[in-house]
């Protein structure tokens, strides 16, 4: 899978910019705040119709514009295709694939896939559970349209339920809607749990093999999915069957939720527990070990996307290579094997010499080949 050309209008810092990329390594350089991460964000947006760092589409439209467009020519499924996202202030976005307007962004699923790797990911093992949920969400949203839809709905319901739990004392009538929200939260939560349980298994298997390789067989990495504690095994059940136990768990926490004013039960608390040699990595692993484990998880994500679509996903390395020592840089670059890569780095970085590839420099909102 490759991004062959990209055009950006009114997207973040770009008023009107474009570039032709090469199918191997593309190095995006430029001083701070020129738009390197914005470029990576635009490519990522086309994988699933959402940004990895903005909460709303409004944020990513240029401050002075009312709409934005991201358009790319890609090679996917052995043929050249086009994908476009048009974003508007105060109106729903539209997605076009090969010029045809799509009903929802979910139809982007599997068309263009990418693994994004940024400095925050390097600390995913020691960070809070949100960082590890993000890994699962980013991977699943690109290949499972039902998951992407459920995640959006779940987020919406979570926000509304949180508001009820926060304000019910001042406005008790809000409680009338609580049961309805609980039902819907269990319904969509069950979909998230169903897919996450399966992904965690696949990630664990692949990440363990990669980590074994990198540590010369000295370390055994394992990932286990932690979700709402019920008797239901999400690996053997359908989402409809997971829903009821989730609803019961919520009911048993109703009083505590009302008292604390927060959502205590649900998939929004899920986690991936990471162990190295049988011990929780979060508490016992060294800084270097947790970084290597994070690399293994990311590389495993790449393998899973490749296995699912039959093509190498695009690898987006945002500012991350310069954070790694030479051994880990090689580890990442040697595993990329043939796929397209975008690497952002500062201008004076030596990475461009090491990796080869086409170099671009971003200045004044333009992306120019060097
Ligand atoms: N909606 C927007 N409209 C206009 N400009 C924006 C918008 N959102 C972000 N920007 C601008 O984009 C710039 C940041 O771009 P970006 O994060 O891509 O920088 P970068 O080149 O990756 O920098 P660094 O090297 O520091 O990571 C900031 O100057 C910011 O003000
Ligand atoms: Mg950046």
Distance 32 CA to ligand 1 centre (A): 8
Q: What is the pLDDT of residues 318-370, one digit of tens each?
A: 998 888 888 888 888 887 777 999 999 887 667 777 777 899 999 999 999 99
Residue among 157, 147, 153, 141 nearest 51 (CA): 141
Q: What is the pLDDT of residues 18-57, one digit of tens each?
A: 999 999 999 999 999 999 999 999 999 999 999 999 989 9
For residue 326, give the 3-state DSSP assignment: helix
pTM of full prediction above 0.85? yes
Q: Does the C-beta of 132 come closer than 6 Å to ligand 1? A: no
Q: Does the C-beta of 367 come closer than 6 Å to ligand 1? A: no
pLDDT at 99 over 70: yes
CATH topology (fold) of 1-113+311-370: Rossmann fold (3.40.50)
Q: Which atom of ligand 1 is nearest to the CA of 59?
A: 1
For residue 246, give the 3-state DSSP assignment: helix
Distance CA 199, CA 197 (A): 6
Work out the pLDDT band at 210, boundaries 50, 70, 90.
very high
Distance 35 CA to ligand 2 centre (A): 7
Distance CA 41, CA 177 (A): 37
What percent of the chain is predicted at pLDDT more than 70? 99
Average pLDDT over residues 268-288: 95
Residue among 127, 141, 156 nearest 52 (CA): 141
What superfamily would CATH give domain 123-310?
A: RecF/RecN/SMC, N-terminal domain (1.20.1050.90)
Distance CA 117, CA 321 (A): 9
Q: What is the pLDDT of residues 221-267, one digit of tens each?
A: 999 999 999 888 999 999 999 999 999 999 999 999 999 999 999 99
Mutate-to-test residue for ligand 1 from 37, 39, 70, highest number of ligand atoms within 8 A of CB: 37
Distance 29 CA to ligand 2 centre (A): 10
Topology agreement, domain 1-113+311-370 and domain 123-310:
no
Q: Which atom of ligand 1 is nearest to the CA of 31?
A: 25
Residue spans of the domains in the chain: they are: 1-113+311-370, 123-310
Q: Provide the mean pLDDT of the chain.
A: 94
């Amino acid at each position: 899978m490759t991004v062959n050309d990209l055009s950006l209008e009114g997207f973040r810092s770009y008023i009107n910019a474009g570039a032709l990329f090469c199918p191997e390594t593309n190095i995006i350089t430029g001083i701070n705040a020129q738009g390197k991460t914005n470029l990576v964000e635009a490519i990522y947006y086309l994988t699933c119709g959402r940004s990895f760092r903005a909460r709303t589409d409004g944020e990513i439209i240029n401050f002075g514009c009312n709409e934005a467009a991201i358009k790319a020519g890609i090679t996917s499924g052995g043929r050249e295709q086009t994908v476009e996202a048009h974003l508007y202030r105060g109106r729903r976005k539209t997605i076009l694939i090969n010029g045809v307007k799509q009903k929802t962004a979910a139809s982007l699923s599997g068309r263009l896939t990418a693994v994004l790797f940024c400095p925050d990911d390097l600390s995913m093992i020691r960070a809070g559970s949100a960082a590890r949920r993000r890994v699962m969400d980013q991977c699943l949203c690109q290949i499972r349209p039902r998951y992407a839809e459920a995640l959006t709905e779940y987020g919406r319901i979570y926000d509304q339920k949180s508001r009820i739990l926060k304000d019910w004392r001042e406005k008790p009538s809000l409680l009338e809607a609580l049961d309805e929200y609980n039902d819907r939260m269990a319904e969509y939560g069950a979909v998230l749990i169903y897919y996450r349980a399966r992904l965690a298994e696949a990630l664990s298997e692949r990440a363990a093999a990669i980590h074994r390789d990198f540590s010369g067989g000295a370390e055994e990495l394992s990932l286990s999915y932690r979700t709402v504690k019920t008797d239901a095994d999400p690996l053997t059940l359908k989402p409809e069957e997971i829903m009821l136990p989730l609803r019961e768990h919520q009911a048993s926490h109703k009083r505590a939720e009302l008292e604390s004013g927060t959502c205590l039960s649900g998939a929004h608390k899920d986690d991936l527990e990471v162990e190295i040699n049988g011990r929780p990595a979060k508490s016992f692993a060294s800084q270097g070990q947790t970084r290597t484990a994070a690399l293994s998880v990311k590389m495993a994500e790449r393998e899973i996307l490749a296995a699912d679509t039959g093509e190498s996903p695009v690898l987006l390395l945002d500012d991350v290579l310069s954070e790694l020592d030479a051994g880990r840089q090689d580890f990442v670059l040697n595993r990329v094997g043939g796929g397209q890569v975008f690497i952002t780095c500062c201008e004076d970085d030596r990475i461009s010499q090491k990796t080869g590839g086409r170099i671009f420099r971003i200045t004044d909102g333009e992306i120019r080949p060097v």
